[in-house]
Amino acid sequence: MTITQQDPDAIRVLQGMEDVRSTVRLRAALAVGTTPDPYFVDKLIERCAIEPEFFVRDMLTWALTRHPVSVTLPALLREVRSQRAQARSQALHTLSKIGDRQAWPAITQPLLSDADDEVARSAWRAAVVLVPEGEESALSMALATQLGRGGRETQLSLSRALTGLGEVIVPALHAATTGPDPRVRAHALATERLLRDPDAGFEAAIEEAKRVVALGHSGHEGP
């Protein structure tokens, strides 16, 4: 039987998701995911936009993945256009977990270059999961426009997204190594190294790339 707003269980769960205690909110999200019902989808998405605790947000996302895509997808696609950065970020994160390529048209260049680092990082991860076959090269070019951006965590996220696309990223990285910005050149070289050697640490890769750039090399010269 479908849950309604008069059901005591529904009232208890909805109140749980608003509780000041994060453990109670976590249990409420777990309960919804364990026994999914479309009635809760809007509340889950609404809560994702404001939930301060990472582990609770992760449970909210899990609960959403337990519901039919036909119910969650339209609401998440609306959410990626929200004015609230956390709403956009969480919606993108959830779309990457659902993995339905119907969401691909929502991964726009404005999202890939969003001013908020968390939104952009979520968009990069979602893009790599959702990109249709044959669109990888175009995506690599779009992602390469963000090389050099932000601190270590942001740069590592972008490198991981790019390397997730495979060898198709090489032309975009080569082009970036000849640009005027040393941060961009170093980030591109570090990403190339990670593509060649996935076990190389990003910190070592970026420091080596910085030395190469400081010496005035592109990183593609012979020995």
Domain parsing of the chain, residue ranges: 131-215
Q: Burial code of 163-200, b = ≥16 C-beta within 10 A, e = fewer?
A: bbbeeebeebbeebbeeeeebbbbbbbbbbbbbeeeee
pLDDT at 219: 53
Given a contact cutoff of 8 angstroms between Cβ atoms, the answer to whether 191 and 173 are in contact is yes
pLDDT at 5: 53
Rounded to whole angstroms, what are the CA distances from 64 to 46, 52, 97, 107?
A: 11, 18, 9, 19
Residues with Cβ within 8 Å of residue 183, at least 6 apart in sequence: 147, 148
pLDDT digits (tens, 9 = 90+) for 99-138: 999 999 999 999 999 999 999 999 999 999 999 999 999 9
pLDDT at 89: 98
Residues with Cβ within 8 Å of residue 1, at least 6 apart in sequence: none
pLDDT at 204: 66
Chain-centre distance of CA 165, in angstroms?
14
Given a cut of 70, the residues of the chain with pLDDT beneath it are: 1-6, 204, 214-223
pLDDT at 142: 97
